[in-house]
């Protein structure tokens, strides 16, 4: 019997109003049902928003350090439950256990950071220009935050959004990806056990159209924070524009790693293997383009193909597995479609390019790590986010061409350069258009306390992670106190 999971609305675990459900299966073995979940709709969203609005009245008045104390408990509980939940995450999402542990650890780090930051939430107070007058700058919560999250980091990304939102004094309506609802449910259990007021956190399971759209349109939600694709992000921004909701968007990437002739090739090889095929290429930060300077191109490609062929596909719970499955059937079809597009465009497929179906793999959404060479700038496989284990290799003459190729996409999340030439590294740091640039490291591996986000179509100017996430969930409020006992007029009384 599959486990039954519920929504959490208005302080209670409950079914969807419609009574409808959906199933969630293990992508490494589709015979295994992880759980059955409520397929919620507009009515459930309405109840969740009502609960969150009600809870906001009191939660906003709790001193931030007290809210932070709850986050400390969250961290304690998470540390205790790490292994158990990481295993569930691998069953639910497919990536290898080492990586689900990492995903979970990012959540723990975010809770620890939120604990400390609850005592900071700094605001600067400039002096008033008038005598006997003071200006006090404060940060206030915004209200109800709608959190819409993807499946690729089923723990880390919800924590990046929910923890700062709560610590800032907002309340939450949370719609997790329908591919990873069990992990999300565990997170809500932990928040409740740690002492978040039940009505302040509402979990509504369902799809983007049944739950996400009603949330985005709901007048009772003040902020939407979303991580996902550019098309969905664009439609969310449009809808939020109509009601002038605040919105933070963390969208796609087409991240590249540059390797120059002078690079340490063994290091660059390890980096690209991890960046391109870790999480089966399903990170926003995944390396999907490899830009090689011509002097090392052929040698590096040989090294890369040899190493890629050794990667072992399998169930992420097995210690021998390097690469897990894709998330679902649609994702595998999309990846395969792009492989066909690459061939049609004239790129040369040198490894992979097909489903992996040997033995046990036949019951999961496995796809062989794939590499194209002779990829030309502008080809669709070089421009569009594939979100799978497909790497496009582009040959360039020099650093200038490498940077121009790297920059020539609509995205700008992560980027990397391998070189031992300090001048080249600094030019790349200055000229690469991306929110994150690594020098001699892969495109993945951002740390939880640093700003995370991208330029161009990767986002709308916000950053998650660290202190910058708190800008999404607070407004500035200024209070002027005039204790002169008379009407003083700034600008007018103070003119030269």
- Which 5-64 positions form the footprint of ligand UN1 (CB under 6 A)? none
Q: Which of 11, 195, 441, 445 binds ligand UN1 (CB under 6 A)?
A: 445
- Which 68-87 positions form the footprint of ligand UN1 (CB under 6 A)? none
Q: Which of 115, 171, 185, 285 binds ligand UN1 (CB under 6 A)?
A: 285
**What character string, x for contact with ligand UN1 (CB under 6 A) and - otherwise, covers 90-109?**
----------------x---
Options 250, 382, 385, 464, the catalytic residue: 250
191 binds ligand UN1 (CB under 6 A): no
Of 54-62, 118-126, 197-205, 283-291, the window that binds ligand UN1 (rule: CB under 6 A) is 283-291
**What number of chain residues touch ligand UN1 (CB under 6 A)?**
9
Options 92, 99, 240, 284, the catalytic residue: 284
284 binds ligand UN1 (CB under 6 A): yes
248 binds ligand UN1 (CB under 6 A): no
Query: Toward ligand UN1, which CB reaches closer, 197 or 445?
Result: 445
Of 44-52, 126-134, 315-323, 442-450, the window that binds ligand UN1 (rule: CB under 6 A) is 442-450
446 binds ligand UN1 (CB under 6 A): yes
- Which 137-166 positions form the footprint of ligand UN1 (CB under 6 A)? 152-153
**Residue 284 annotated to the active site:** yes
**What character string, x for contact with ligand UN1 (CB under 6 A) and - otherwise, covers 302-321?**
--------------------
Q: Which of 175, 218, 283, 395 binds ligand UN1 (CB under 6 A)?
A: 283
Return the HEC string of the chain: CCEECCEEECCEEECCCCCCEEEEEECCEEEEEEEEEECCCHHHHHHHHHHHHHHHHHHCCCCHHHHHHHHHHHHHHHHHHHHHHHHHHHHHHCCCHHHHHHHHHHHHHHHHHHHHHCCCCCCCCCCCCCCCEEEEEEEEECCEEEEECCCCCCCHHHHHHHHHHHHCCCEEEEECCCCCHHHHHHHHHHHHHHCCCHHHEEECCCCHHHHHHHHHHCCCCCEEEEECCHHHHHHHHHHHHHHCCEEEEECCCCEEEEECCCCCHHHHHHHHHHHHHHHHHCCCCCEEEEEEEHHHHHHHHHHHHHHHHHCCECCCCCCCCCECCCCCHHHHHHHHHHHHHHHHHCCEEEECCCECCCHHHHHCCCECCEEEECCCCCCHHHHCCCCCCEEEEEEECCHHHHHHHHHCCCCCCEEEEECCCHHHHHHHHHHCCCCEEEECCCCCCCCCCCCECCCHHHECCCCECHHHHHHHCEEEEEEEEECCCCCCCCCCCCCC
**Residue 240 annotated to the active site:** no
Of 51-59, 131-139, 421-429, 443-451, the window that binds ligand UN1 (rule: CB under 6 A) is 443-451
Q: Which of 444, 469, 470, 472 binds ligand UN1 (CB under 6 A)?
A: 444
462 binds ligand UN1 (CB under 6 A): no
Write out the catalytic residue numbers. Answer: 250, 284
Instruction: Give the footprint of ligand UN1 on this chain (CB under 6 A).
Output: 106, 152-153, 283-285, 444-446
């Amino acid at each position: 019997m599959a486990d039954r999971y519920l929504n959490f609305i208005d302080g209670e675990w409950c079914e969807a109003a419609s009574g409808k459900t959906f199933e969630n299966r293990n992508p490494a073995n589709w015979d295994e049902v992880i759980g059955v979940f409520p397929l919620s709709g507009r009515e459930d969203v309405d109840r969740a928003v009502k609960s969150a609005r009600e809870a906001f009245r009191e939660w906003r008045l709790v001193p931030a350090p007290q809210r932070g104390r709850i986050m400390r408990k969250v961290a304690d509980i998470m540390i205790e439950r790490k292994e158990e939940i990481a295993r569930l995450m691998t069953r639910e999402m497919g990536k290898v256990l080492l990586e689900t542990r990492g995903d979970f650890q990012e959540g723990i780090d975010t809770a620890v950071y939120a604990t400390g930051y609850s005592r900071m939430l700094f605001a600067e107070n400039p002096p008033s220009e008038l005598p006997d007058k003071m200006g006090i700058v404060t940060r206030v919560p915004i209200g109800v935050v709608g959190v819409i999250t993807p499946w690729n980091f089923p723990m880390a990304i919800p924590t990046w959004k929910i923890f700062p939102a709560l610590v800032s004094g907002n309340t939450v309506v949370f719609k997790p990806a329908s591919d990873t609802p069990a992990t999300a449910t565990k997170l809500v259990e932990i928040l409740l056990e740690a002492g978040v007021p039940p009505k302040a956190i509402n979990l509504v399971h369902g799809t983007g159209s049944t739950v996400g759209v009603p949330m985005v349109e709901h007048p009772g939600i003040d902020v939407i924070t979303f991580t996902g694709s550019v098309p969905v992000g664009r439609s969310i921004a449009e809808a939020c524009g109509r009601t002038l909701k605040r919105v933070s968007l963390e969208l796609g990437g087409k991240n590249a790693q540059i390797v120059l002739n002078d690079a340490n090739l063994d290091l660059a090889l390890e980096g690209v293997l991890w960046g391109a095929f870790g999480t089966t290429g399903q990170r926003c930060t995944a390396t999907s383009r490899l830009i090689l300077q011509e002097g090392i191109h052929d040698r590096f490609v040989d090294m890369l193909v040899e190493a890629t062929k050794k990667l072992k596909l399998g169930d992420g719970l097995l210690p021998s597995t390097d690469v897990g499955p894709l998330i679902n059937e649609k994702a595998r079809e999309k990846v395969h479609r792009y492989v066909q597009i690459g061939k049609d465009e004239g790129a040369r497929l040198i490894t992979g390019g097909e489903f992996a179906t040997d033995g046990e793999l036949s019951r999961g959404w496995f796809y062989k790590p794939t590499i194209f060479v002779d990829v030309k700038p502008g080809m669709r496989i070089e421009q569009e986010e594939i979100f799978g284990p497909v790497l496009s290799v582009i040959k360039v003459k020099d650093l200038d061409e490498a940077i121009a190729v790297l920059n020539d996409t609509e995205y700008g999340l992560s980027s990397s350069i391998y070189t031992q030439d300090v001048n080249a590294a600094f030019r790349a740091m200055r000229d690469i258009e991306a929110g994150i640039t690594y020098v001699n490291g892969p495109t993945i591996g951002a740390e939880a306390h640093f700003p995370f986000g991208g330029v161009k179509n990767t986002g709308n100017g916000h950053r998650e992670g660290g202190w910058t996430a708190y800008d999404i969930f607070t407004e500035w409020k200024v209070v002027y106190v005039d204790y002169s006992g008379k009407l003083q007029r700034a600008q007018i009384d103070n003119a030269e």
